[in-house]
């Protein structure tokens, strides 16, 4: 039977400042984390220390340990699950192999060998610049040479990430001892036909003895089947009756079935492969209709409005992301009502832990291939690496029922057409052959059960603009970059795969990252932790449209700025999602940019780099709930949209109240509605209830859901000075309003860095109260709670 021996102990990192200099090394890990642990470099997440460690990515590094491959088995392999990125592997000076792709695994025959194992990493910069020198310059969104090396692109920095170019043994390494034969690859094709699960396991084996007869035996759901291995391959098929279907969260349960495949010589087991699978069907409706070309996910025959978020690597040093950290972040996503996570193309193919958690939580996975925001050369050595990594990772991820879509790239088709790339390339290769050739061919051959799309955004044809909102996927970045978030309501894209608005991280996160700085929007550390082009200018212009801005000369004014940016982020995202959800089924999904951060930074994330939820996170819980009310101007009047994504019809009566900011009810009515399952109902608001001028607003309530419409920007609204009472209650804080209190927010991390609130922004009418649950607060105090409460105030 194959035996595996992890190689985690005894590694050292050779320091480049001297041939004898060395440090203890953690494997899996990377150079930066080893240097941090040894105190050689400062934490690049703090202050502006990122710039102090830039030299690390420009150096060559060597990892070493002693290796003894002696074994009673016929063969021993040295297996690396991931090497970042360009490396030469040697044993006592003998070259075992050379590698140049972070996204692949590697295997070397070391049977009977022993000695000093060295993994010599060359600088990814040196490799990328050498490839660029041979193949020629290609345009990109950023100046760093990330498109010339098969490495996590955002290692080289992004508009939310630091430039920390890593190197190291970033995934597990082990010795595998085996005899006669081993399982080299299992490709599971899983389907459902009339309630019966169909499993086809295509098996590749590696042998030491070709003459030995081999069989494979597979079991799943109590069904067992055998097949002969002919040469180095074979296929075993199983039919599992009466399977329970795997559903996305909110649509049903997520039953998972254990699959075991054993490689046998006679009755003697040689190797075993185990995974969990789920039975479900998935499709992508891209049919043309009167609105353009659709993009609707269909799971088990159910058409979905995808409630999505974009996922970036959760740490710029991905070896630090543990199984529990994945689960924490993905539980946060599920807790916000998310049912789809897009793994963005500037990152990595995530570890099994990520996809396992998505399987269990019912989170659909849209998987980008790792290409983003650049023209990628198609010549060697890159072309062969791209196909090899695609083949490996498609097969690796196939067992996961959560995986429902392969996507060729992020924004590269758009970039070619719209960002001036085409004339600059002058006929040079730029990646089209990957997205429209290599990758769809690999997916069709290896994983025929899942749809593939060439890119995001992509309209489906060069006959249309790649980012045409009426066709396929659309990225909405004119809003934020140049236009107000109210402009989200001007169009109905078929599927919004990226959109978002920035805000700084939580206050405690800023304090940890900038411990000695007097905080201001434009203080040195704040500017360093703002990577977007003119990011602060866009924040300011976004605020000026709605709010009277605070001055810059006090900590209190920074606190107000911090609060208002959080409010504006939540409102911007709400403007988009409310509008697009109310236009289902023309619009079939929204994928927020972005769920998470990889370090403490001002960004579009709902969860900051320390894992703290911004107010946007809690707003997502409302926006992505099965039932949503929204008020919007449509045509010549106001309309209430009743959005029902639940499996049962939603019928009832909405209470409509026209109110003054002083708290008087100026008009009231009850409006009956009926929204079928997975449908939207619309109700016209009577003219007499429409608010007039900045002193009035409209409130709609139904079954615990609320929508509020103010016709004027906050800077014009004569808010009363907010009055409310604060009291401690078991597990939280009770706030009772005596006046209108708009966008009340308890910033729990100001009470204690570990404190968390269970809700974000809430608007209270006079006489209403809310209990805000607070955890992680060691010494509750009502006065402290009041000091951490923020809301809209009269303009200064």
Helix (H) or strand (E) run with residue 128 in it = helix 124-135
Question: 619: which 2 tokens?
Answer: 């707003």
CA angle 231, 237, 238 (to 5 degrees): 150
Distance, in Å, from the CA atom of 387 to the CA atom of 432, rounded to the nearest integer, reads 14
DSSP state of 715: G
Chain-centroid distance, C-alpha 441? 26
Catalytic residues: 411
Question: 25: which 2 tokens?
Answer: 């090394």
Q: Position of tokens 């539980």?
A: 331
- Sheet holding 732-737: strands in order across? 724-729, 732-737, 769-775, 756-757
Distance, in Å, from the CA atom of 703 to the CA atom of 254, rounded to the nearest integer, reads 28
Cα torsion 766, 769, 770, 771 to 10°: value is: 150
Cβ contacts of 782 within 8 Å, gap of 6 or more: 726, 727, 728, 733
Q: Give the residue from 724, 736, 737, 587 showing the smallest Cα distance to 659.
A: 737
Q: Position of tokens 């604060």?
A: 726
SS (H, E, C) 66-113: EEECCCCCCEEEEEECCCECEEEEEECCEEEEEEEECCCCEEEECCCC
Distance, in Å, from the CA atom of 142 to the CA atom of 373, rounded to the nearest integer, reads 8
Phi, psi of 210 (to 5 degrees): -75, -20
CA angle 522, 527, 528 (to 5 degrees): 155
CA angle 368, 374, 378 (to 5 degrees): 85
- Longest Cα–Cα distance of the chain, Å, equals 90
Using CA atoms, how far residue 525 sits from 47, 542, 600, 649, in Å, is 5, 22, 11, 51
Beta pairing class for 94-100 and 762-764: unpaired
Assess whether the previous peptide bond of 131 is cis (omega < 30° from 0).
Answer: no
Whether residue 530 contacts residue 601, with contact meaning beta carbons closer than 8 Å, is answered with yes
- Helix ranges, 717-764 (H): none
787 SS3 class: helix
Q: Give the residue from 531, 501, 504, 505 showing the smallest Cα distance to 593.
A: 501
Q: Give the residue from 773, 627, 588 showing the smallest Cα distance to 707.
A: 627
CA angle 775, 780, 785 (to 5 degrees): 90
- Helix ranges, 401-515 (H): 412-418, 421-425, 432-433, 439-446, 478-481, 507-513
Question: 763: which 2 tokens?
Answer: 């608007």
Whether residue 167 contacts residue 127, with contact meaning beta carbons closer than 8 Å, is answered with no
Whether residue 609 contacts residue 543, with contact meaning beta carbons closer than 8 Å, is answered with no
The residue count for the chain: 796
Using CA atoms, how far residue 724 sits from 85, 670, 764, 793, in Å, is 57, 29, 10, 13
Distance, in Å, from the CA atom of 171 to the CA atom of 25, rounded to the nearest integer, reads 13
């Amino acid at each position: 039977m194959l035996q595996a021996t992890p190689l985690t102990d005894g590694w050292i990192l050779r320091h480049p400042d001297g041939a004898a200099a060395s440090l203890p090394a953690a494997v899996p890990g990377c150079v930066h984390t080893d240097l941090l642990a040894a105190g050689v470099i400062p934490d690049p997440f703090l202050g502006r220390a990122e710039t102090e460690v830039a030299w690390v990515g420009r150096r060559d590094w060597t990892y070493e340990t002693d290796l003894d491959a002696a074994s009673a088995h016929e063969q021993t392999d040295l297996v690396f699950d991931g090497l970042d990125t360009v490396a030469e592997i040697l044993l006592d000076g003998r070259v075992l192999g050379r590698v140049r792709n972070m996204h692949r695994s590697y295997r070397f025959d070391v049977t009977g060998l022993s000695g000093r194992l060295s993994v010599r990493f060359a600088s990814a910069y040196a490799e990328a610049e050498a490839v660029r020198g041979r193949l020629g310059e290609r345009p990109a969104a950023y100046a760093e040479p990330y498109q010339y090396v098969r490495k996590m692109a955002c290692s080289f920095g992004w508009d939310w990430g630091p430039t920390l170019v890593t190197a190291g043994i970033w995934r597990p390494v082990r010795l595998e001892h085996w005899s006669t034969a081993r399982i080299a690859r299992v490709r599971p094709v899983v389907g459902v036909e009339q309630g019966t699960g169909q499993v086809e396991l295509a098996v590749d084996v590696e042998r030491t003895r070709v003459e030995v007869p081999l069989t494979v035996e597979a079991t799943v759901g109590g069904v067992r089947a055998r097949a002969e291995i002919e040469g180095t391959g074979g296929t075993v098929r199983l039919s599992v009756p009466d399977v329970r279907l795997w559903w996305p969260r909110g649509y049903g349960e997520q039953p998972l079935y254990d699959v075991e495949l054993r490689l046998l010589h006679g009755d003697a087991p040689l190797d075993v492969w185990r995974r969990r699978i789920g039975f479900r069907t998935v499709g992508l409706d891209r049919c043309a209709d009167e609105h353009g070309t659709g993009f609707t996910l269909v799971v088990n025959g159910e058409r979905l409005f995808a409630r999505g978020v974009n996922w970036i690597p959760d740490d710029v040093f991905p070896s630090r992301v543990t199984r529990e950290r994945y689960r924490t972040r993905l539980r946060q996503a599920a807790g916000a009502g998310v049912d789809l996570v897009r793994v963005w193309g500037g990152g990595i193919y995530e570890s099994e832990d990520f996809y396992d958690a998505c399987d269990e939580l019912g989170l659909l996975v849209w998987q980008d291939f790792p290409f983003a925001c650049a023209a990628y050369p198609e010549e060697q050595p890159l072309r062969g690496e791209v196909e090899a990594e695609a083949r490996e990772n498609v097969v690796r991820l196939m067992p996961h029922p959560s995986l429902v879509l392969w996507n060729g790239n992020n924004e590269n088709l758009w970039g070619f057409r719209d960002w001036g790339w085409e004339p600059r390339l002058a006929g040079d290769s730029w990646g089209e052959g990957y997205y429209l050739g290599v990758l769809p061919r690999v997916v069709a051959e290896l994983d025929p059960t899942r749809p593939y799309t060439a890119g995001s955004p992509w309209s489906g044809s060069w006959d249309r603009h790649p980012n045409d909102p009426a066709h396929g996927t659309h990225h909405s970045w004119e809003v934020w970059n140049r236009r107000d978030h109210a402009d989200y309501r001007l169009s109905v894209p078929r599927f919004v795969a990226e959109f978002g608005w920035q805000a700084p991280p939580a206050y405690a996160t800023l304090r940890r990252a900038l411990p000695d700085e007097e905080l201001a929007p434009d203080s040195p550390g704040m500017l360093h932790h703002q990577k977007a082009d003119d990011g602060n200018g866009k924040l300011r212009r976004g605020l000026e449209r709605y709010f009277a801005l605070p001055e810059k000369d006090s900590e209190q004014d920074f606190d107000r700025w911090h609060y208002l940016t959080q409010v504006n982020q939540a409102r911007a995202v709400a403007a988009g999602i409310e509008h697009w959800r109310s236009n289902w089924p023309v619009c079939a999904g929204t994928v927020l940019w972005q769920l998470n951060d990889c370090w403490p930074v001002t960004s579009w994330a709902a969860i900051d780099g320390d894992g703290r939820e911004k107010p946007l996170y809690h707003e997502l819980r409302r926006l992505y709930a099965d039932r949503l009310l929204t008020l919007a101007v449509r045509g010549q009047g106001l309309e209430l949209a009743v959005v029902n994504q639940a499996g049962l019809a939603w019928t009832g009566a909405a209470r409509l109240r026209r109110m003054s900011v002083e708290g008087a009810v100026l008009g009231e009515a009850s409006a009956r509605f009926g929204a079928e399952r997975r449908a939207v109902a619309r109700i016209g608001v009577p003219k007499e209830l429409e608010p007039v001028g900045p002193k009035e607003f409209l409130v709609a309530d139904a079954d615990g859901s609320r929508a509020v419409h103010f016709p004027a920007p906050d800077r014009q609204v004569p808010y009363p000075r907010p009055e409310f009472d604060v009291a401690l209650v078991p597990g939280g804080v009770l706030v009772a309003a005596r006046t209108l209190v708009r966008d009340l927010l308890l910033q729990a991390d100001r009470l204690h860095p570990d404190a968390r609130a269970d809700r974000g922004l809430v608007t209270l009418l006079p006489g209403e109260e809310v209990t805000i649950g607070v955890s992680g607060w060691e010494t509750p105090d009502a006065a402290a709670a009041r000091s951490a409460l923020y809301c809209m105030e009269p303009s200064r």
